[in-house]
């Protein structure tokens, strides 16, 4: 069992326990958005739901969520509102 002082160490001290999600997100940071991601971001800014976007693209909802996660990682944000604000700040929309 981990002692409390071990749990408070920064992530770089325990690189083998950094979750895959964090590593993936860091690998996306700063990369440009693809054409599909820009399209999904535009639809999200119009208020479309994941289901609506999946119907428009003729894909699954999981695929739309995948693209949204990539958008969040590339823009270093946590949700749609932040993504739209960051995209506007960067002049992407």
Q: What is the pLDDT of residues 43-60, one digit of tens each?
A: 999 999 999 999 999 999
- Is residue 24 situated within a structural domain? no
What is the distance between the alpha carbons of residues 75 and 31, in angstroms, rounded to a whole number? 8
For the question of whether the overall pTM of this predicted structure is more than 0.85, the answer is no
Would you mind telling me the total number of residues written for the chain in this entry? 93
Task: Evaluate whether residue 52 is within a structural domain.
Answer: no
| Boundaries of domain holding 88 | 57-93
The confidence band for 20, taking pLDDT boundaries of 50, 70 and 90, is low
Mean pLDDT (the chain) is 82
Q: Per the domain annotation, does 72 fall within a domain? A: yes
Helices first, then strands: H and E counts in the chain: 6, 0
**Total of domains in the chain:** 1
Residue 41 has a pLDDT of 94
- 28 lies in a domain? no
Q: Which two tokens stand for residue 4?
A: 């409390």
Structure tokens, 72: 């969040």
Are 27 and 18 in contact by the 8 Å Cβ rule? The answer is no
Residue 17 pLDDT level (bands cut at 50, 70, 90):
low
In a domain, 88, yes or no: yes
Residue 76 is assigned to a structural domain of this protein: yes
């Amino acid at each position: 069992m981990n002692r409390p002082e071990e749990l408070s160490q920064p992530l770089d001290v325990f690189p083998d326990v950094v979750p895959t999600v964090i590593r993936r997100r860091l690998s996306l940071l700063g990369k440009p958005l693809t054409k599909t991601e820009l399209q999904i971001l535009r639809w999200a800014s119009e208020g479309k739901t994941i289901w609506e976007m999946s119907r428009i693209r003729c894909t699954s909802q999981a695929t739309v969520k995948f693209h949204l996660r990539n958008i969040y990682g590339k823009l270093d944000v946590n949700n749609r509102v932040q993504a739209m604000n960051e995209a506007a700040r960067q002049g992407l929309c």
